[in-house]
């Protein structure tokens, strides 16, 4: 029972000393300690936050860089493709032009050749006719009167030549 | 092989024990009284006995109608540390108690007893330690070192694992009290385990004071919601409210009482068990018992160290829980 009866003296001193302890420690120990701990935690948190932010920014910048790069790549491809089509069309145009020109030249040449051929043919025909006439003249001159049948033959010949003319 | 040897030692121990038990039974009693020894160690006293025969007298302070009276407790004893029958200044020492020679005398005993002396030493030690720790924070962003790094984790533990989760967002107001409470109990428990120390936190007056502080803080910070819950519990039928009211009222008082009893019982019981095993050595007066008892006491001391931490934790945690419940917002 003695264990369970609180002593008045101890009770009194415990109240006084514990309150003193509480006041002294609150002012000189707990306040600076908890405040510094809080500040330190805030500092650490802030540092972590800013590190995180910096990282995010870095990622953003990288993303932007990549975007720029890919855009530039696309642009290049576009330009290249345009140049290719342009050169192709230019080539086609040139080819077509050349072909047309060639065709025209060929056609002209053909025309010239045809007309030359006709001319030559006419010449040949004329010359042939003259020659034939000459030959015929000579033959006729020689003995036209000799044989009537011959005469008839010559006449036929002349007719024939005239017919073909 | 090992177990055989242990077995042999055990038998040897029994042999010695029985032998001496027989002897001691023949002896006259009064040679060694275990209960008295234990009570002497566990209870408060008016002298500080560091070891047998080395006694520091303490001041006795008595408040009477005629005013304060202060005198040394050595006046109550003769040169051989036996209590004087005739007493001194109207008081005599009787089995660890201060008794007035005139039984009609009304007085208040405010003596610096063994526990009060130990309380003062503990408090001074705490102030020295924690002011030193606080000085380590002068440079706010430096790494904790020395004694600071010993106590910072404990302070953080009290703040983050005891006070913050149980009290809630308003915890900062109560943190100084909780830290003082935790470290006071922890230091009292641990230092109480030292030889020649007093059983401070195992004294009901000390635990009662701490429990009353928690009780007062709890009820003075209790909000409307808390009191409404006690006197007119919402959300239940009328008849239940009438039944619950006395239960809630009992709860208000049973909380601090449980705090008081728990700490007192845990620490005092630990001391009694420790002293019992030490007392066994003096009862049996055998080397065998002495050896094994000492081994056991070493183990028990380690358990008591654990209890010292656990009890400090439990007292602080329950104080936080009670306060947390009292200031909880309506949900």
Q: What is the pLDDT of residues B193-212, one digit of tens each?
A: 988 888 999 999 999 999 99
Q: Is residue A2 part of a domain?
A: no
Supply the pTM of this predicted model: 0.74
Query: What residues of chain A lie within 8 A of the CB of B141, using their CB?
Result: 40, 43
Which residue spans within B102-237 are E strands per DSSP? 107-109
Of B19-28, B58-67, B171-180, B302-311, the one with minimum mean pLDDT is B19-28
Confidence of residue B17 (pLDDT cuts 50, 70, 90): very low
C-alpha neighbours within 13 Å on the C-beta side of residue B246:
3
Query: Of A10, A18, A34, which has the smallest distance from its Cβ to B115's Cβ?
Result: A10
pLDDT, one tens digit per residue, over B129-162 is: 999 999 888 877 777 888 889 999 999 999 999 9
Report the 10 Å Cβ neighbour count for A44.
11
Query: What residues of chain A lie within 8 A of the CB of B156, using their CB?
Result: 37
Asked whether B16 and B286 are in contact (CB, 8 A), the reply is yes
A138: its two tokens: 């000579």
Query: What residues of chain A lie within 8 A of the CB of B130, using their CB?
Result: 25, 28-30, 33
Query: What residues of chain B lie within 8 A of the CB of A9, using their CB?
Result: 61, 109-113, 116
Query: Cβ separation of A10 and B205 shorter than 8 Å?
Result: yes
Query: Cβ separation of A33 and B134 shorter than 8 Å?
Result: yes
- Orientation of helix B114-135 relative to helix B204-221, angle to 10°: 50
Query: Cβ separation of A15 and B39 shorter than 8 Å?
Result: no
Inter-chain Cβ pairs, chain A and chain B, closer than 8 A: 121
State residue B205's pLDDT score: 94
**What residues make up the domain containing A14?**
9-164
Query: Cβ separation of A29 and B130 shorter than 8 Å?
Result: yes
Report the 10 Å Cβ neighbour count for A7.
24
Q: Residue-wise over A45-55: b if at least 16 C-beta within 10 A, else e?
A: eeeeeeeeeee
Query: What is d(CA B34, CA A145) in angstroms, rounded to the nearest whole number?
Result: 196
Handedness of CA A10, B211, B194, B284 (dihedral sign): positive
Give me chain B's average pLDDT, please: 86
Mean pLDDT value across residues B151-180 = 93
Query: What is d(CA B185, CA B263) in angstroms, rounded to the nearest whole number?
Result: 9
Q: Is residue A1 part of a domain?
A: no
Q: Which residue of B has its CA nearest to A4?
A: B204
Query: What residues of chain A lie within 8 A of the CB of B176, using their CB?
Result: 22, 25-26, 30-31, 34
Picking from B136, B124, B173, B130, the residue whose alpha carbon sits closest to that of residue B155 is: B130
- The one-character DSSP state at B88 is B
Q: Is residue A65 part of a domain?
A: yes
Query: Cβ separation of B180 and A39 shorter than 8 Å?
Result: no
State residue B224's pLDDT score: 86
Q: Which residue of A has its CA nearest to B39?
A: A3
Confidence of residue B297 (pLDDT cuts 50, 70, 90): very high
pLDDT, one tens digit per residue, over A119-148 is: 888 888 888 888 887 777 777 666 655 667
Query: Of B110, B123, B137, which has the smallest distance from its Cβ to A33's Cβ?
Result: B137
SS3 for B256?
A: helix
Q: Angle at CA B231, nearest 5°, toward B228 and B235? A: 65
Query: What residues of chain A lie within 8 A of the CB of B137, using their CB?
Result: 32-33, 36-37
The percent of residues above 70 in pLDDT, for chain B, comes to 90
The dihedral over CA atoms of B147, B153, B158, B159, expressed in degrees to the nearest 10, equals: 110
Chain A residues with a Cβ under 8 Å from any Cβ in chain B: 2-15, 17-18, 20-22, 24-26, 28-34, 36-37, 39-40, 43
Query: Cβ separation of B205 and A4 shorter than 8 Å?
Result: no
Q: Is residue A49 part of a domain?
A: yes
Low-confidence ranges of chain A (pLDDT < 50): none
Locate all alpha helices (DSSP H) within B33-174, ordered by sequence.
34-42, 114-135, 147-157, 164-167
DSSP, residue by residue, B21-50: HHHHHHSPTTS--HHHHHHHHHS--SEEEE
Q: Nearest CA of chain A to the CA of B15: how many Å?
A: 37
Picking from B106, B125, B103, B98, the residue whose alpha carbon sits closest to that of residue B43 is: B98
State residue B166's pLDDT score: 93
Residue showing tokens 């002293």: B275
Confidence of residue B18 (pLDDT cuts 50, 70, 90): very low
Q: Is residue A4 part of a domain?
A: no
Distances B302 to B153, B192, B278 between C-alpha atoms, Å: 21, 13, 15
Query: Cβ separation of A11 and B133 shorter than 8 Å?
Result: no
Query: What is d(CA B134, CA B148) in angstroms, rounded to the nearest whole number?
Result: 8
Q: Nearest CA of chain B to the CA of A52: how many Å?
A: 20
SS3 for B67?
A: strand
State residue B43's pLDDT score: 87
Distances B267 to B17, B273, B301, B309 between C-alpha atoms, Å: 30, 10, 12, 11
* Number of structural domains chain A divides into: 1
Query: What residues of chain B lie within 8 A of the CB of A31, using their CB?
Result: 176
Asked whether B170 and B327 are in contact (CB, 8 A), the reply is yes
- Residue B14: pLDDT above 60? no
Q: Angle at CA B110, nearest 5°, toward B105 and B113? A: 120
Contact B201/A at CB under 8 A: no
Query: What is d(CA A5, CA B218) in angstroms, rounded to the nearest whole number?
Result: 25
State residue A145's pLDDT score: 58
Q: Is residue A70 part of a domain?
A: yes
Q: Is residue A113 part of a domain?
A: yes
Which ipTM was obtained for this model?
0.85
Query: What is d(CA A56, CA B68) in angstroms, rounded to the nearest whole number?
Result: 74
B265: its two tokens: 């019982």
Mean pLDDT value across residues B121-130 = 95
């Amino acid at each position: 029972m003695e264990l369970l009866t609180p002593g008045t003296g101890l009770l009194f001193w415990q109240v006084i000393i514990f309150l003193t302890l509480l006041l002294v420690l609150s002012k000189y120990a707990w306040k600076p300690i908890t405040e510094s701990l809080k500040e330190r935690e805030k500092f650490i948190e802030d540092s972590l936050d800013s590190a995180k932010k910096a990282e995010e920014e870095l990622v953003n910048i990288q993303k932007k860089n990549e975007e720029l790069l890919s855009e530039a790549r696309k642009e290049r491809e576009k330009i290249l493709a345009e140049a290719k089509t342009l050169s192709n069309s230019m080539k086609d145009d040139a080819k077509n032009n050349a072909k047309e020109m060639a065709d025209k030249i060929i056609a002209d040449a053909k025309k010239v050749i045809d007309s030359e051929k006709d001319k030559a043919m006419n010449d040949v025909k004329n010359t042939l006719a003259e020659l034939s006439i000459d030959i015929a003249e000579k033959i006729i001159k020689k003995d036209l009167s000799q044989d009537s049948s011959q005469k008839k033959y010559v006449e036929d010949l002349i007719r024939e030549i005239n017919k073909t003319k | 092989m090992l177990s055989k040897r242990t077995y042999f030692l055990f038998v040897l121990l029994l042999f010695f024990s029985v032998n001496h038990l027989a002897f001691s039974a023949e002896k006259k009693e009064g040679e060694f009284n275990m209960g008295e020894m234990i009570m002497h160690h566990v209870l408060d006293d008016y002298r500080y006995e560091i070891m047998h025969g080395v006694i520091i007298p303490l001041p006795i302070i008595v408040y009477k109608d005629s005013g304060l009276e202060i005198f040394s407790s050595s006046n109550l004893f003769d040169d051989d540390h036996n209590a004087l029958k005739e007493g001194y200044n109207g008081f005599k020492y009787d089995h660890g108690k201060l008794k007035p020679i005139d039984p009609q005398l009304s007085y208040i005993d405010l003596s610096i007893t063994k526990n009060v002396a130990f309380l003062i030493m503990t408090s001074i030690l705490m102030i020295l330690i924690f002011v030193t720790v606080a000085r380590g924070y002068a440079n706010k962003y430096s790494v904790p070192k020395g004694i600071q790094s010993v106590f910072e984790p404990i302070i953080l533990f009290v703040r983050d694992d005891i006070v913050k989760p149980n009290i809630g967002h308003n915890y900062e107001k109560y943190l100084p009290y909780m830290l003082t409470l935790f470290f006071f109990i922890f230091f009292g428990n641990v230092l109480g385990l030292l030889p020649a120390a007093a059983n401070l936190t195992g004294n009901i007056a000390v635990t009662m004071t701490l429990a009353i502080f928690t009780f007062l803080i709890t009820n003075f910070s209790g909000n409307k919601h808390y009191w409404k819950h006690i006197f007119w519990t919402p959300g239940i039928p009328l008849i239940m409210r009438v039944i619950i009211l006395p239960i809630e009222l009992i709860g208000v008082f049973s909380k601090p009482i449980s705090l008081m009893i728990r700490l007192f019982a845990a620490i005092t019981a630990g001391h009694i068990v420790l002293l019992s095993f030490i007392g066994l050595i003096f009862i049996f007066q055998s080397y065998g018992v002495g050896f094994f008892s000492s081994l056991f006491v070493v183990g028990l001391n380690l358990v008591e160290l654990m209890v010292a931490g656990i009890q400090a934790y439990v007292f602080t945690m329950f104080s936080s829980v009670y306060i947390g419940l009292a200031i909880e917002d309506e949900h």
